[in-house]
Structure 1
Amino acid sequence: MIISAASDYRAAAQRILPPFLFHYMDGGGIF
């Protein structure tokens, strides 16, 4: 997969990370 937009990073992270970690980051817990 070629990552060319912010939404591509989100999709890649969703596939790679465990669900609890992805949802924590996606919910704004990190940023």
Structure 2
Amino acid sequence: MSSVLMDLILVFSPKKYYNNIENWKREYLR
């Protein structure tokens, strides 16, 4: 995944989803 895409997801996602994205990012970047 490109970091730009991740940044866009973080920017456009509501704060309530932020933790889910963080967890998914940790899993995906392993």
TM-score by length of 1: 0.46
Q: Which has the higher contact order (CA 8 A, sep 6+)?
A: 2
TM-score by length of 2: 0.46
More helix by share: 2
